[in-house]
Amino acid sequence: MSLLTATNIGRRYTMRRGMMSRPVAVHAVDGVSLTLERGQTLGLVGESGCGKSTTGRLVLGLEAPDAGEVLFDGAPMPPPGTTAWRKLRARMQMVFQDPLGALDRRLPIAAQVREPLDIHNSLSPDERPARVEELLGAVGLRPDQAARYPHELSGGQRQRAVLARALATNPDLLVCDEPISALDVSIQAQAMNLLVELQARFGMAILFISHDLRAVRQVSHRVAVMYLGRIVEEGEPDAVLHDPIHPYARALAAAIPHPGSRGKPRAVLQGDPPNPADRPSGCAFHPRCAIAEAACRVSVPPLLARPDGRAVACHLAHDPAFAKAA
Ligand code: SF4
């Protein structure tokens, strides 16, 4: 049984464009299905505003979906805030983008790592200091740093402290939302390696949310590419990132700088992402797609499985002439 299964989940918000305007529905997440196996990492990648973070909140039960269902360990996710949901929280933790914002500036690091153990009554009070020490060691913090306050640590050290706290209750699932984007580029690789090491040691599954394809490739067992609230391609990282099929996934992959390219991307996406409140008809990617056809403006392409283990949502991807056309 998979640890996490989301089936056709959706989340709508209502917003106004101005004081006098009528409210409009924004589909932040629309019909997303994903599966996460125990001890594995699913990378969720896409541009800012594509619905990645909302998807993370839905699978954690921080928000209830308007449509679809989330199963955790085979059972439906309890409604947010209920006693049943709070009990599950020890098994599901989240790591946010900004480690300084995630930590309490008034408390030393050791106290913050211990906090989840106290809240969830994990281990006996006598056993908790040893667990804190073990966790700080696992994330590479020195014993003398346990007594420091967040502002006395570097950004990378703070993110290590956040990881130690998230792992305190030995969770089955970690949702990491842009966990390296606030870190200095020089230490991002270290943070990624640490995440891989911690997964090997503690065995948790990870939903890794990022706009950075290189980071996603480094840590993920599977990758899902999102565009305007929907998954457009899903499969193994090598296939999706080295030989993408969906035109949007192709554009993202082409934008990764190559060694020797002095950081310049080979190609960039045309135009800005559309406003989610004004989603284009049919395939939402059609205004930016170089190979769009008339049908693309009319009907939404379903996410269809392919014989190579991938799933792609593009009308032309299942057409034998596609490879030539693209
Ligand atoms: Fe492009 Fe059409 Fe495929 Fe959408 S369905 S990605 S517009 S070819």
Cα 312 to ligand 1 centre (Å): 11
From the CB of 225, is ligand 1 less than 6 Å away?
no
Is 239 within the bounds of a domain?
yes
In-domain check, residue 51: yes
* Residue (of 35, 13, 45, 96) closest to 218 by Cα position: 45
Residue pair 51/229 in contact (Cβ under 8 Å)? The answer is yes
123 sits in the region (left: phi over 0; alpha: psi -120 to 50; else beta) called left
Q: Read off the CATH number of the domain in which 306 is found.
A: 3.40.50.300
HSE, CB side, 13 Å, CA atoms: give it for residue 119: 16
Site to probe by mutation for ligand 1, drawn from 291, 300, 319 as the one with most ligand atoms within 8 Å of Cβ, is 291
Whether residue 121 lies inside any domain: the answer is: no
Interatomic CA distance for residues 234 and 53, integer angstroms: 17
Report the number of distinct structural domains present in the chain.
1
Computed from CA positions of residues 272, 278, 280, 282, in that sequence, does the dihedral angle turn out positive or negative?
A: positive
Residue 315: CB within 6 Å of ligand 1? yes
Cα(285) to centroid of ligand 1, in Å? Answer: 6
Q: Does residue 206 belong to any structural domain of this protein?
A: yes
- Ligand 1 centre to CA of 251 (Å) is 12
User: What is the pLDDT at residue 135?
Assistant: 96
CA–centroid distance, residue 37 to ligand 1 (Å) = 30
For residue 218, being part of any structural domain is answered with: yes
Please report, as a single letter, which amino acid is at residue 240: V
Is 285 touching ligand 1 by the criterion CB < 6 Å? yes
Q: Which domain holds residue 307?
A: 4-17+24-106+171-325
pLDDT score, position 12: 94
pTM confidence score: 0.92
At 272 the pLDDT is 77
Atom of ligand 1 nearest to the CA of 293: 2
Digitized pLDDT (tens) for each residue of the chain, 326 residues in all: 999 999 999 999 988 777 777 788 889 999 999 999 999 999 999 998 899 999 999 999 999 999 999 999 999 999 998 999 998 999 999 998 888 889 999 999 999 999 999 999 889 999 999 999 999 999 999 999 999 999 999 999 999 999 999 999 999 999 999 988 888 888 888 899 999 999 999 999 999 999 988 899 999 999 999 999 999 999 999 999 889 999 999 999 988 776 655 554 455 677 777 788 888 999 999 999 999 999 999 999 999 999 999 999 999 987 766 655 55
